[in-house]
Amino acid sequence: MPTRDDMIIFSSVNKSFGAHHVLRDLDFVVGRGEKVSIIGPSGSGKTTILRILMTLEHPTSGQVMVDGDELWNLHTGQKPKETKAMRRTRSRIGMVFQQFNLFPHMTALENITEAPIRVQGKSPAQARQQAMELLEMVGLAEHANKRPAKLSGGQQQRVAIARAMALQPAVMLFDEPTSALDPELVGGVLNVIRDLAQTSDMTMLMVTHEMRFAQEISDRVVMFDEGVAIEDGPPQQIFGNPSHERTRRFLQAVL
């Protein structure tokens, strides 16, 4: 039974791309305020979970609830349609992508103020003030007026985090946020995410290959393999004493 403390619920979710069955009867819950990392081999369906939450993909069947509201409820073969309620639910979710996805023709500041002004109807002055606070938080206040091309990858990703935060989401999704970065830029981005994890009550769901980082900041770690959550528990258990042979082999290969 769902409870008020469940922020994200996947119930019997299937996702196929043509004949390729990517998520298999997935049941998966993230509690309110929980910080959860998803690990697992490439192609196991991790990103697909985040994309379904962002409504960038739809399940083939199954139900997804976010913060007590239905985001998806599909029966096999049913055509999904976007509703107002769905867009409202979706607006409570922010996402940070592997490839930053900043608007190239806007400054860092404009990237952050764009949605609050257009979507939330904030005044430009109010949006700018909030954006400056967020840039301060990610250590980039002095770069506010630079376009993405003038920033390093790590700086761009920090702007992308600030941009996602500007809409004050209840849920933040991170899709391998450091995988496109040169190694020396990874630490700065992880520091920002660590601060968020430790200081905010947002629900955070992160797909990551940074195992030590996942171990450090997560309340729970979920191991995926071939579209199934094969192991789910506190980081000490998953990294220290995994019960599945598959998890053990995966960790040996990546650690």
Q: Which helix (H) or strand (E) holds 175?
A: strand 171-175
Paired residues of 229 in beta bridges:
224
Residues numbered 48 to 67 that lie near ligand ADP (CB under 6 A) are 48
The CB-of-203 to ligand ADP minimum distance in angstroms stands at 20
When binding is defined by CB under 6 A, the residue of 45, 62, 94, 242 that contacts ligand ADP is 45
Closer by beta carbon to ligand ADP, 12 or else 179: 179
Whether 143 and 155 have beta carbons less than 8 Å apart is answered as yes
Q: Residue 111: phi, psi to the nearest 5? A: -60, -35
Closer by beta carbon to ligand ADP, 17 or else 103: 17
The CB-of-47 to ligand ADP minimum distance in angstroms stands at 3
Whether 132 and 160 have beta carbons less than 8 Å apart is answered as no
Closer by beta carbon to ligand ADP, 93 or else 108: 93
The CB-of-5 to ligand ADP minimum distance in angstroms stands at 27
Residues numbered 5 to 44 that lie near ligand ADP (CB under 6 A) are 17, 20, 22, 40, 42-44
Closer by beta carbon to ligand ADP, 42 or else 199: 42
Distance CA 10, CA 22 (A): 14
Q: What secondary structure does DSSP assign to 187-230, as a single string?
A: HHHHHHHHHHHHH---EEEEE-S-HHHHHHH-SEEEEEETTEEE
Give the number of residues in contact with ligand ADP, rule: CB under 6 A.
11
When binding is defined by CB under 6 A, the residue of 47, 130, 203, 208 that contacts ligand ADP is 47
Q: Report the amino acid identity of residue 50.
A: L
Site residues (CB under 6 A) for ligand ADP?
A: 17, 20, 22, 40, 42-48
